[in-house]
Structure 1
Amino acid sequence: MNFKQLEQYFINELSSLYDGEEAKQLFYLVVEQVSGWNRTQLLINMTESLSAELTLTYDDVLLELKQGRPMQHIFAVAWFYGLRFKVSEAVLIPRPETEELIEWILDTVKSEPVSSILDIGTGSGCIAITLKKNLEQVDVSAIDVSAAALAIAEENALTNTAAVNFIHADILTYSSSFRYDLIVSNPPYITEHEKEEMHQNVLAYEPHLALFVSNENPLLFYKKIADFALINLRPKGRLFFEINEYLGKETVDMLLAKGFTDIILRKDMQGKDRMISCGL
């Protein structure tokens, strides 16, 4: 078997889970991880035959993909904003829309410099670590309720040489006298009703603690974090959220009711309401 035949084999075997283009993109990513080739190198070598040992390696990866396991978990690595992060089933896989939130924050602090940032619900640490790498003079702290997630985040901070202060705490009960210039959070926001729309590899392999909220109180974490920000943001500080695309208006209304000003609701590249920024 050569790589061209292997590509078609991947597409055929994954057809029940992914459309042809998605399966092809997965194939490219798997080749990059297993053989170390980028897409250009692969295209040059498409007719090269695979050894029996390499064929078995690709078969093993394909078997896990067919079971719905995310590729990032198979290789225990994800890329985010140009940085490499270790991931496991204890943390959410970093997503492209969160990179857009990072970009918005970095653009904002160019004109509104900050000295301290808090990331609430840090998971893999991707937000806190990326901000620290791009804002080296800023003190960055990060909170998570999961000890397993914090262990991953701390390892990622070491790997990426980012000095982040990690705090093991539940934001629903956490209090602090420290005040920050900027607070950011990508908290759980998917309602139980929305589970039916989700891919099986998310439902089976990503932490429900970091994903889901009740249908009855979908803004639970946003309300708690907003209350925390009212106390722990410095004057003229800003709060940033990644949000549920279906609850943009409700989130804006909640922030208005709590007294926040300069509220901006922003769409992601797919045209979905995805981010909010507001100030005191």
Structure 2
Amino acid sequence: MQPEMPNVMTVSVSHIRHALQESYSVQEAANLSRIVCCEMLGQTAVDYYLGKDMILSPKEMQDLDTILARLRNFEPIQYVQGTARFLERSYHVAPGVLIPRPETEELVEVMLKEVPSGARILDIGTGSGCIAISLSKMLPDAKVTAWDISDTALRIARRNNEALQASVCFVQRDVLAYVPGSGEWYDVIVSNPPYVTESEKQEMERNVLDWEPFSALFVPDNDPLLFYRRIAELGKGMLASGGRLYFEINRAFGEATATMLRAQGYTNLRVLKDISGNDRIVIAER
């Protein structure tokens, strides 16, 4: 008696690419199909670029259909995968936290060159925890605390902290309402707060607007420095003498942010550009 053949199905790379071209440009569809085939379905890069068919089980085929449906609905690939890379580490991400950006990597890289190894560091608006955890891992003598208002974000950040064996202390806190207590001192406060103005929505892609958390992205048009101003106010009572603020900013408000910080009494202001030549980082000293 012949052995029963396993119940398998074949699917082609071109099928996946064409399915995604309904919603994406040819180049975007090619990039996404490579991730789906090689990183999610286990196809080798050689087989992918040769256009070889994949043999999938019914369960794998069902998973592929789900992946393609989510991508056609403009869900970011990082959410579909459940991971995003940040400074060579993988972080769990899901709707409810921002997907880490290369500009934020640049912010952390600047800090790693300047922040003392044993510094007391506060990360405000931590999201997935990528800033705080990176600093904790690369400055192992530092004491790193991270705040976020969101239960979802803190749950994800704590999961990443445990998975990456970092030692960040996470606290649920609303920075706009918080009144600091005595004895709460830091050498560094870092923040990548909401900074996209509501009028900039029309310039943004659906995979950001429809999926990433509104509260972590947007500020009112009439108060674009809302979070920076509040953090600067807190910093005057929470930063040790000579302590620094490190901000990631909206490229349109570099000088405005620096001017606001000077008015609050901060010194040694620097506005740094990102790799694309846009104002992106502001550093100030108490």
Same fold (TM over 0.5): yes
- Partner of 2:122, secondary structure, is strand
| Deviations, residues 83-107 of structure 1 (Å, cap 9, x unaligned) | 2211111111111111111111101
Unaligned runs of 5+ in 1: none
Q: Measure, in 2, the Cα distance between the counterparts of 1:186 and 1:265.
A: 15
Q: Number of aligned pairs?
A: 275
Amino acid at match of 2:264: K
Give the number of the structure whose alpha-carbon radius of gyration is greater.
2
Q: Measure, in 1, the Cα distance between the counterparts of 2:266 and 2:45.
A: 47
Q: Measure, in 2, the Cα distance between the counterparts of 1:233 and 1:151.
A: 27
RMSD: 2.0
Aligned to 2:212: 206
Aligned to 1:233: 239
Quick check: 1:51 aligned with 2:51?
A: no
Contact 1:86 1:156 in 2 (8 A): yes
Q: In structure 2, which of residues 86, 103, 109 is the aligned counterpart of residue 103 of structure 1?
A: 109
Contact 2:117 2:142 in 1 (8 A): no
Amino acid at match of 2:243: G
Aligned to 1:165: 169
Contact 2:118 2:139 in 1 (8 A): no
**Pair 255,10 (structure 1): closer, same or farther in 2 beyond 3 Å:** farther
Quick check: 1:196 aligned with 2:202?
A: yes
**Pair 68,135 (structure 1): closer, same or farther in 2 beyond 3 Å:** same
Aligned to 2:66: 60
- Partner of 1:247, secondary structure, is helix
Contact 2:40 2:81 in 1 (8 A): no
TM-superposed CA distance for 1:46, in Å, is: 3.6
- Partner of 1:140, secondary structure, is strand
Contact 1:114 1:181 in 2 (8 A): no
TM-score (norm 2): 0.89
Quick check: 1:128 aligned with 2:152?
A: no
Equivalent positions of 1:7-86 (< 5 A) are 8-15=14-21, 17-37=23-43, 39=45, 42-43=48-49, 46-51=51-56, 53=58, 54-86=60-92
Q: Measure, in 2, the Cα distance between the counterparts of 1:237 and 1:51.
A: 56
TM-superposed CA distance for 1:2, in Å, is: 7.4
Q: Measure, in 2, the Cα distance between the counterparts of 1:276 and 1:83.
A: 25
Amino acid at match of 2:249: I
TM-superposed CA distance for 1:114, in Å, is: 4.3
| Deviations, residues 235-254 of structure 1 (Å, cap 9, x unaligned) | 11111011011111211111
The ranges of structure 1 where at least 4 consecutive aligned residues each deviate by more than 6 angstroms after the TM superposition are: none
Q: In structure 2, which of residues 95, 104, 123 is the aligned counterpart of residue 89 of structure 1?
A: 95
Q: Percent identity?
A: 41
Unaligned runs of 5+ in 2: 1-8
Aligned to 1:153: 157
TM-superposed CA distance for 1:181, in Å, is: 0.8
TM-superposed CA distance for 1:38, in Å, is: 6.2
Contact 2:246 2:282 in 1 (8 A): yes
Q: Measure, in 2, the Cα distance between the counterparts of 1:242 and 1:92.
A: 14
Q: Measure, in 1, the Cα distance between the counterparts of 2:205 and 2:84.
A: 18
Contact 1:72 1:93 in 2 (8 A): yes
TM-superposed CA distance for 1:12, in Å, is: 3.4
Deviates more, 1:9-18 or 1:134-143: 9-18
Q: Measure, in 2, the Cα distance between the counterparts of 1:59 and 1:78.
A: 22
TM-score (norm 1): 0.91
Aligned to 2:6: none
